[in-house]
A and B are shown apart, each in its own frame.
Chain A
Amino acid sequence: MKVEVSIDPTCKEPKVIIHTDKMTDEIEHLMQSIASAEVNTLSVFSDRGVEFISCGDIVRIYTEQKKVFVQTMVGIYIARLRLYELVEKLNTQMFVRISNAEIVNRNMIKHMDISRTGTIGVELTGGIKTYASRRYVTKIKKQLGI
């Protein structure tokens, strides 16, 4: 089996085509593993180029100066998609929106707090501290099943 990658800057979404003369078990397995990789991984940019990260490793995804960043325990990457596109793509069981500019992995939420001036803090795994908007707090609560 030959594997080939063609780089096309106009290509919006990667597409895998398998050329074959007949459907075999091998081809079927290949299709399944490609499809499942798509659901659980996200392609991101780092200074080393394009990388694939597992969605379960993502701590948070946030917008800053019109760029979308993906933070894991290991590092911070730049996403290829806009935040709203990621919201549609990612598993809603795993990710929860905490403000207009940010979504976090709900399994990574350690603790939340509210300061006297009403700043709503969210403490994530790895000592990452971020903030939630008031109007998303109720949604977070609902999504956690309270």
Chain B
Amino acid sequence: MRKDILIRILGGFIIGAVLGQIVQFFVSLGISQESYVWVVPEFQALFESETMAIMTQVVLTGLIGITFALAALFFEIARWGMLKQYIVHFFVTALIWIPIVVVLWMPKTMANIFSLFASFLGTYVVTWLLQYKLSKRDIEKINAMLIERGDFHDN
């Protein structure tokens, strides 16, 4: 279990940092300056050197990765049920990644932050509904099979 958590932390950091750089690549294209933009100017302004800003960006995006890697463990707590798993997962991850993304990239308007939050929430609602329906269908099939097996044993 401890080894599993260490692997999650390490893997989460790497995946988070790599995805962060991919996002940065598209952000750079969007800003469309002559040379590559390693960090957005608003974020750069918080630091004295560009290297410090880039390193902080890597660490912060890595942190998002770690959060998601560890939060996935909520889905292993069978006793909670899917609703609680999804709600806890949503808030724990949102608490970490929304502030980080806002600091790193977003133009700082409330409307933008809200749309970010809403699209994130929407994804969860859709996924939850799908997973619930799939589970329900699977369980109905399993029960039908169990009843059949029970009849077979009785005979």
Interface residues of B in 36-75 (CB under 8 A from A): 75
The answer to whether A22 has its CB under 8 Å from any CB of chain B is no
Q: Are B81 and A140 in contact (CB under 8 A)?
A: no
Interface residues of A in 114-140 (CB under 8 A from B): 114-120, 130-135, 137-138, 140
Q: Are B76 and A99 in contact (CB under 8 A)?
A: yes
Which listed residue (B84, B85, B86, B135) contacts A114, Cβ 8 A? B135
The answer to whether A146 has its CB under 8 Å from any CB of chain B is yes
Q: How large is the interface on B (under 10, 10 to 19, 20 to 34, 35 or more residues)?
A: 20 to 34
Q: Are B79 and A113 in contact (CB under 8 A)?
A: no
Main secondary structure of the interface of A (DSSP, over half): mixed
B residues in contact with A134, CB < 8 Å: 75, 82, 131, 135
What CA separation (Å) do A116 and B128 show in the bound complex?
A: 12
Which listed residue (A110, A111, A118, A130) contacts B82, Cβ 8 A? A118
Which listed residue (A66, A119, A144) contacts B80, Cβ 8 A? A119
Main secondary structure of the interface of B (DSSP, over half): helix
The answer to whether B143 has its CB under 8 Å from any CB of chain A is yes
Q: How many A-B residue pairs have CB under 8 A?
A: 78
Q: Are A144 and B76 in contact (CB under 8 A)?
A: no
- Per-residue CB contact flags for chain B residues 128-155 toward chain A (1 = under 8 Å, else 0) read 1001101110110111011000000000
Q: Are A144 and B145 in contact (CB under 8 A)?
A: yes
What CA separation (Å) do A110 and B147 show in the bound complex?
A: 8
The answer to whether A81 has its CB under 8 Å from any CB of chain B is no
The answer to whether A112 has its CB under 8 Å from any CB of chain B is yes
Interface size (A, Cβ < 8 Å)?
31
Name, among A66, A113, A133, A135, the residue most crowded by chain B CB atoms within 10 Å (CB to CB).
Answer: A133
Q: Are B139 and A113 in contact (CB under 8 A)?
A: yes
| Chain B residues in the interface with A (C-beta under 8 A) | 1, 75-76, 78-86, 128, 131-132, 134-136, 138-139, 141-143, 145-146
Sample of 20 A–B contacts (CB below 8 Å): A109-B146, A112-B142, A114-B132, A118-B82, A118-B132, A120-B82, A120-B135, A120-B139, A130-B78, A132-B78, A133-B75, A133-B76, A134-B75, A134-B82, A135-B75, A137-B138, A137-B142, A138-B138, A144-B142, A146-B142
